Structure 1
Amino acid sequence: MGKPSFQDEKKLVRDYYARLDAASPDGMKSAQAQYVATDYLWRGFHPFHEIRCAEGVVDQFWTPLKTALSHMQRRMDVFMAGQNTIEDQGGVWVVSMGHLMGLFDQPWLGIPPTGKMAMLRYCEFHKVEAGKITETAMFFDIPHLMMQAGLDPFPPQTAAHLVQPGPMTHDGLMFEAQDPGEGRKTLAAIDHMVSDIKTWRGGVEEPLVDELRRSWNEDMIWWGPAGIGATYTIERYAQQHSGPFRAGLTDRSFNGHICRIVEGQFGGFFGWPNLTLTPAGGFMGMPATNTPGDMRVIDIYRRDGDKLTENWIFIDLLHFWNMQGIDILARTTNIAAGQETGARGAAP
């Protein structure tokens, strides 16, 4: 008997997307009933957090989002599936990553509409059991959408603000079964990187770029979240993200992952939360605190040869800073609302 190819699970998620993306609010609830388990767990970024009801996800997330982003379409860059390598979690998971694109015609979460195209970066992990989706982690970059709407949720970021492309190789949509041997190489590269973070874990002192070169190709690209940005090459990654991250966040602890999968030359993981850290001042231009905060993170990787070469990152920065007493979403949207009111009241 051959090794599992996860094609049934992939088909289920693709069929689910076809129904969900084309449906009205009532139709979305019908899609949930067909494809999603009754004891469903949905994990989403702040201000949504955990929702334990399939219909509740439609009411609280999908309907408001699709109302705001009219004519919304899903533009996937990565699609893969695999067996969870976190043994005490297990299960088959299907992952998609890309953008939800639409015309930003109505407010969403207090973010003012632009009437123009907008793209919400997203990544979803779906656990499939007995022909149903039982868990979803859907992470999305709300500050990135805020910046497209002309808002400034954070101080100027150290790396570039971009609408981010998919893999340079354009082979991330793995609708067909992949070579398991390639997946094993990708898992080895990810595991090596995770275990080799010396300065992170207080190990051997060495230049950061030397540590990074053991796991990453020289022309690596780190597609980071809004507030941090994207950066290219090991040296610029060390300068524009990894160095400031390690310098500005203390008392770092790793909480583990819920899912880690690989397929072909791609892989990824998420935690809830992955990390707990305390801001020591300076990171993202924000103040020091005495309060530990949680980072909920998705990482998606592409391997080239024996090393990693592209990395897409989703971090719930709104949740992290909210734990520090800084409500970025409310603060920024209230300022925007005040500016709009002032503009309406201004003399011609």
Structure 2
Amino acid sequence: MAAHSIDGDAAKQAVDAGLRRLAAAPPAARATVAAEVFAPGCRFHVAHPFNDFAGLSEALAGFFDPLLASLDHAGRTHAIVATDLFEGARLVAVMGHYHGTLTRDLVGIPAHHKPVWIRFGEIHRIEDGRIAESWMLPDMLDLIRQVGLWPLAPSLGAEHQWPTPGGNARALSPTDHDAGHANLALVRAMHAALGTFDGKSLESMDLAPYWTEDFAWYGPAGIGTAFGLDGFRSVHQIPFLTAFPDRQGGQHIGRIGDGEFVVTGGWPSVTATHTGNGFCGMPATGRRVGMRVMDFYRCEGGLIAENWVPLDITHLLLQMGYDIFARLAHLGGNPRTSL
């Protein structure tokens, strides 16, 4: 089967069912189920501290097994599943949550024996009926928040579990590229408006024509959620532009337009120099950084109504000189004892 021959609905259904089945599989069956979903040589790009894996066996040992072993009653729910062709390849994007009771430590995050919801955004490239490359952004900082630890300054926005689109999960809406590509054009026009910032005034970016008046912006842990253009500006845009005034975006590994949903993402999607203070409470470091980030949009009536933003904050902060997982290790009784 050619990389692009599988149709959109079939691709969404296969990815949706396969990844949920993998999350719920008992340990003895996990490798078998994973081999049905992923190609053996699949390349994986996962949020820090997991990072890159060169094949399925590496990804099982380094990501799926430790993640799922940490969760009793493990499962996975999908709020958005969208698909499109990008540069000749069939892509499927998924936004949702892993869930379960955190009964074992995970990458230094201590188990607290309570239910957790690990939100994520993902983009998968399909080839010969299986996933051949995956970009995955589980929000590890939000998991740290859920276990009662917080290694940063207080978030400016509200921190909570991400809601489903419009308050209703509709993960497997029928594929609709006519509407989707119209909405993708809307989102890309908004991205172009972001690029008109003159370095001085927010009004140099005319964003109001692209968003509903009461749009919801769901940021990653460390930034949080805000409503409306005024909330978006105060919670995210002003701290972000102050910290990264030379940011350059749009370096996408995928762009998807499917019905009411648009998805973009890059690895990194944004590059910048950290020359200003305030982002996540951090002072300027002067370091060059790259941001692993995805945007999931829901459009309504020709405007953007909701925007979920998986962003690898732990990796971004590591580039800025702050190792969150090293701090967790210290707090957990394993401090550094030498330079």
Task: Give the TM-score normalised by structure 2.
Answer: 0.91
Q: For the structure 1 residues 18 and 77, does the alpha-carbon distance in structure 2 shift closer, same or farther, using more than 3 Å as the test?
A: closer
Residues 193-232 of structure 1: matches in 2 within 5 Å? 193-200=190-197, 202=198, 206-208=201-203, 211-232=206-227
Q: Distance in 1 between matches of 2:210 and 2:329?
A: 40
- Between 210-219 and 105-114, the greater mean CA deviation after superposition: 210-219
Q: Distance in 2 between matches of 1:174 and 1:235?
A: 33
Q: Distance in 2 between matches of 1:284 and 1:257?
A: 24
Q: Select the residue among 20, 25, 28 that pairs with 2:27.
A: 25
Cα shift readout 1:282-310 (whole Å, capped 9, x = no counterpart): 11110111211110001100001111110
CA contact (8 A) 1:5 1:178 kept: no
Cα shift readout 1:17-76 (whole Å, capped 9, x = no counterpart): 243123233322112222321221111011111111101111111111111111111121
Cross-structure match for 2:267: 272
Residues 23-102 of structure 1: matches in 2 within 5 Å? 23-84=25-86, 87=87, 90-102=88-100
Q: Could you say what secondary structure the match of 2:317 adopts?
A: helix
Q: Could you say what secondary structure the match of 1:154 adopts?
A: coil
Q: Distance in 1 between matches of 2:328 and 2:28?
A: 32
Amino acid in structure 2 at the alignment position of 1:110: G
Cross-structure match for 2:168: 170
Q: Distance in 1 between matches of 2:38 and 2:96?
A: 22
Cross-structure match for 2:182: 185
**Which blocks of at least 5 consecutive residues in structure 1 are unaligned?**
340-348
Q: For the structure 1 residues 220 and 255, does the alpha-carbon distance in structure 2 shift closer, same or farther, using more than 3 Å as the test?
A: closer
Cross-structure match for 1:344: none
Q: For the structure 1 residues 212 and 242, does the alpha-carbon distance in structure 2 shift closer, same or farther, using more than 3 Å as the test?
A: same
Q: Select the residue among 110, 129, 142 that pairs with 2:127.
A: 129
Q: Distance in 1 between matches of 2:46 and 2:6?
A: 29
Deviation (angstroms), 1:4: 7.9
CA contact (8 A) 2:99 2:118 kept: yes
Deviation (angstroms), 1:11: 2.8
Alignment of 1:10 with 2:12, yes or no, is yes
How many residues end up aligned between the 2 structures? Answer: 330
Over the matched positions of the two proteins, sequence identity in percent amounts to 32
Cross-structure match for 2:243: 248
Alignment of 1:312 with 2:308, yes or no, is yes
Q: Distance in 1 between matches of 2:64 and 2:219?
A: 24
CA contact (8 A) 1:217 1:309 kept: yes
Cα shift readout 1:300-338 (whole Å, capped 9, x = no counterpart): 000011111100001111111111221012213422447
Q: Distance in 1 between matches of 2:195 and 2:10?
A: 40
Amino acid in structure 1 at the alignment position of 2:98: L
Amino acid in structure 2 at the alignment position of 1:116: K
Q: Distance in 2 between matches of 1:158 and 1:12?
A: 38
Amino acid in structure 2 at the alignment position of 1:55: S
- Between 108-117 and 208-217, the greater mean CA deviation after superposition: 208-217
**Which blocks of at least 5 consecutive residues in structure 2 are unaligned?**
none
RMSD value, Cα: 2.1
Q: Distance in 2 between matches of 1:26 and 1:62?
A: 13
Q: Could you say what secondary structure the match of 2:137 adopts?
A: strand
Cross-structure match for 2:324: 328
Q: Could you say what secondary structure the match of 1:231 adopts?
A: strand
Amino acid in structure 1 at the alignment position of 2:257: V
Q: For the structure 1 residues 286 and 221, does the alpha-carbon distance in structure 2 shift closer, same or farther, using more than 3 Å as the test?
A: same
Deviation (angstroms), 1:77: 0.9
